[in-house]
Structure 1
Amino acid sequence: MASFRQRSSKWQARVTRDGYPNQVKTFEARADAERWARSVESAMDKGQFVDTQEAQRTTLRELILRYVREVTPTMKSVTEDTYRLKALARRPIANWSLINLSATRIAAFRDERLKEVSNGTVIRELAYLSSIINHARREWDINMSNPVIHVRKPTSPTGRTRKLSDDETTKLLQALEPTGRQNTWTRPVVLLAIQTAMRRSELLALRWENIDLTRQTAFLPDTKNGTPRTVPLSAAATEVLRTIPRNISGIVFPVKYFTLDAAFKRAVKRAGLVDFHFHDLRHTAITAMAEKLPNLIELSAVTGHKSLSMLKRYYHPDVEELARKLG
């Protein structure tokens, strides 16, 4: 049954029925309260009632931060995801309650972000929002629709083909020479990335117990695609590992993700490189490896790609060299 009471200048409606949680909502006018109560009771009578109170009192910011606390720590990219999601929680759209998070508002958020960042970043942020909402619907019993699925995604960017030339490699390594307060771990990380084609996350997760300098191998128990692999180390890669000090923690490179990221970006700027990202080191390494390992099966075993189509995104042969091979 429904009951109504006046609180200050507003009217509170309460619907109580066995088998359902109490439904409470406040209105400016009693007529609005009665209309809402009738609609709730009608839905209950028809077995169509959906409790949206949790979605009404929870903001998107609160949902994101709960996800960061409870779900993100179980993910491989916990540090990066936490940083990105907390930044997302500071956006104006996060002020809306979940029940009022419409496709129109998501689209407005998309358009505003496209003025500030790349298509790829916006696609990633929309994917974050969709995943968080779906998790809340499945695991936290928050009844709401997922408005993200109704919003047009920006065009996916074409795969990057940027890689270092020999001259750029020299300039970058010179810029990474530790002087003053510069991070001393950045240069060996970059050197190993160029020699092994390992991802940044894989490099930062390396442990001495998984490295065999005699056999020239590095075992990666946890990779991006979920399959462990053993990476062969070139003589140059082995020399890099022999020359760096060993940390008591057992971690090969005891440096935080964002500390490394900031130090690398500063070095790129000092070297005068244009449009070069850390992940482009993987492109550079794979292209160089392809000259030594023309068998793509062997090359994919080193790089960790499960399919040749994914490997092709990173392998960028020199067209002039291909022309010379054709004769």
Structure 2
Amino acid sequence: MATIRNRGEYQWEAQIRRKGYPAQRKTFETKADAQAWARVIESEIDRGIFVSRVEAERTAFHQLIDRYISEIAPKHKGAYSEIKRLEALKRHPLATRIVATLTSSDFARYRDERLKIRKGNTVKRELALFQCVIEVARREWGIHLAENPVRMVSRPSYNDERSRRLDPVEEQYILSALEPCERRSDGSYADASHNPWIRPIVQIAIETAMRRGEIFELRWKHVNLDRRTAHLPATKNGLPRTIPLSPNAIQLLRGLPRSLCGRVFPTTADALKKAFVRGLERARSKYLTDCHQAGVLPQEDFLLDLRFHDLRHEATCRLATKLPNLIELASVTGHREVNMLKRYYNITAEELAAKLA
């Protein structure tokens, strides 16, 4: 039988003691609320389904996020990006809430608010992170909840599939802008990039369709120039693959110096990001100058919306013309869903009929 005690003008404490179970107590503003809570707990004990909610009722959501950042996220591929995203999510008012009070409607409101300022795919990833944090806490950290409140929330629909192609003229200008240059006598550099790795990284991306992370993880011990292959042991989808190298890729790799660390491209993702943006700016500026001098009207969107990841799309489009078999193309690009590659094939019904003749 539960004990209900008055602890002041506006406080009532319910306490339950049962053999074989930890003591349960909770404070309420009214006696009726205390009695209702006690009935629920005693009923769960009687039916053998009771689990202690003590940890969930005294732990703030941001504490779970902090623990996930320190114990779980570092083990994941792409840990840096995941941790940065979690640190940002931790600043949201939702993170101050006690875990036991979080409901699916709280996360539904979060979703709707974020969709006003962020794309659907971004919000979907944020909800997925929230769900992972709570799920780990439920399974491994003693945070007992009847259900994961994020799991019940509908994910936003989105379609951010990009189809940006790299025009041959754009390619010419960007590669020219990324050409390494010599250091001046005063220690400064000319307009071209002074990071000698950026241009070959862009070129290898266009030739192989490798993802940025795969390019940075590529090591000389995994490259076989004689067999014209490169082995990628760590990929985005977790499955290793070996890709063929085109003659252009072979020529490019043969001309690169070997670094002591063993990496083919010993630079950082941050350096690439900054240098690529600056290279685009220089390339567009040079293009506009050339158009002005030639009296030609420039293309308004020339290099304006190009992203580094678009190079993978461009490479896949080029490979699709040489590898008409979807399975073969997927083995090169690393796509797990073959259906994702269908958009790279624009064959007409007439062309299909010709193949059947």
- Give your verdict on TM over 0.5: yes
CA RMSD of aligned residues (A): 3.1
Identify if the C-alpha distance between structure 1 residues 147 and 35 changes in structure 2 by more than 3 Å, giving closer, same or farther.
closer
SS in 2 for 1:24: strand
Deviation at 1:210, TM superposition (A): 0.7
- Could you say which residue in structure 2 is the equivalent of 1:21? 22
Question: Which whole-Å CA distance do the structure 1 matches of 2:32 and 2:250 have between them?
Answer: 78
Question: Which whole-Å CA distance do the structure 2 matches of 1:4 and 1:245 have between them?
Answer: 78
- Could you say which residue in structure 1 is the equivalent of 2:157? 155
SS in 1 for 2:221: helix
Identify if the C-alpha distance between structure 1 residues 43 and 297 changes in structure 2 by more than 3 Å, giving closer, same or farther.
closer
Question: Is contact 2:320–2:345 with CA below 8 Å preserved after alignment?
Answer: no
- Could you say which residue in structure 1 is the equivalent of 2:252? 240
- Could you say which residue in structure 2 is the equivalent of 1:106? 107
- Residues 24-46 of structure 1 show CA distances to partners (whole Å, capped at 9, x for unaligned) of 33345667556544543343234
Question: Is contact 1:221–1:228 with CA below 8 Å preserved after alignment?
Answer: yes
Identify if the C-alpha distance between structure 1 residues 35 and 210 changes in structure 2 by more than 3 Å, giving closer, same or farther.
same
- Could you say which residue in structure 2 is the equivalent of 1:185? 197
User: Which stretch shows the higher mean deviation, 214-223 or 242-251?
Assistant: 242-251
User: Which stretch shows the higher mean deviation, 18-27 or 30-39?
Assistant: 30-39
Question: Is contact 1:12–1:24 with CA below 8 Å preserved after alignment?
Answer: yes
- Residues 236-285 of structure 1 show CA distances to partners (whole Å, capped at 9, x for unaligned) of 22233233333322122233334433433443454442332222111100
SS in 2 for 1:218: strand
Counterpart code for 1:289: L
Deviation at 1:202, TM superposition (A): 1.0
Structure number with greater Rg is 2
Question: Which whole-Å CA distance do the structure 2 matches of 1:83 and 1:15 have between them?
Answer: 43
- Could you say which residue in structure 2 is the equivalent of 1:287? 317
Counterpart code for 1:291: T
Gaps of 5+ in 1: none
- Could you say which residue in structure 2 is the equivalent of 1:196? 208
Deviation at 1:142, TM superposition (A): 1.7
State the identity %: 47
- Could you say which residue in structure 2 is the equivalent of 1:146? 148
Question: Which whole-Å CA distance do the structure 1 matches of 2:242 and 2:17 have between them?
Answer: 62
Counterpart code for 1:141: G
Identify if the C-alpha distance between structure 1 residues 316 and 186 changes in structure 2 by more than 3 Å, giving closer, same or farther.
farther
Report 1:121-270 matches (<5 A): 121-144=122-145, 145-178=147-180, 180=189, 183-270=195-282
Counterpart code for 2:137: A
Question: Which whole-Å CA distance do the structure 2 matches of 1:183 and 1:202 have between them?
Answer: 19
Question: Is contact 2:61–2:98 with CA below 8 Å preserved after alignment?
Answer: yes
Question: Which whole-Å CA distance do the structure 2 matches of 1:253 and 1:189 have between them?
Answer: 7
Deviation at 1:55, TM superposition (A): 1.6
Question: Is contact 1:5–1:13 with CA below 8 Å preserved after alignment?
Answer: no
Q: How many residues align?
A: 322
TM-score (norm. length: structure 2): 0.78
- Residues 15-67 of structure 1 show CA distances to partners (whole Å, capped at 9, x for unaligned) of 33332223233345667556544543343234343322222222222222222
Question: Which whole-Å CA distance do the structure 2 matches of 1:201 and 1:257 have between them?
Answer: 8
Question: Which whole-Å CA distance do the structure 2 matches of 1:174 and 1:318 have between them?
Answer: 34
Counterpart code for 1:222: A
TM-score (norm. length: structure 1): 0.84
Gaps of 5+ in 2: 182-188, 285-302
Question: Which whole-Å CA distance do the structure 1 matches of 2:194 and 2:102 have between them?
Answer: 45
Counterpart code for 2:53: T
Question: Which whole-Å CA distance do the structure 2 matches of 1:45 and 1:99 have between them?
Answer: 22
Is 1:278 equivalent to 2:333 in the alignment?
no
- Residues 161-180 of structure 1 show CA distances to partners (whole Å, capped at 9, x for unaligned) of 11211112123223333464
SS in 2 for 1:159: coil
User: Which stretch shows the higher mean deviation, 122-131 or 197-206?
Assistant: 122-131
Question: Which whole-Å CA distance do the structure 1 matches of 2:23 and 2:277 have between them?
Answer: 55
- Could you say which residue in structure 2 is the equivalent of 1:50? 51
User: Which stretch shows the higher mean deviation, 261-270 or 93-102?
Assistant: 261-270
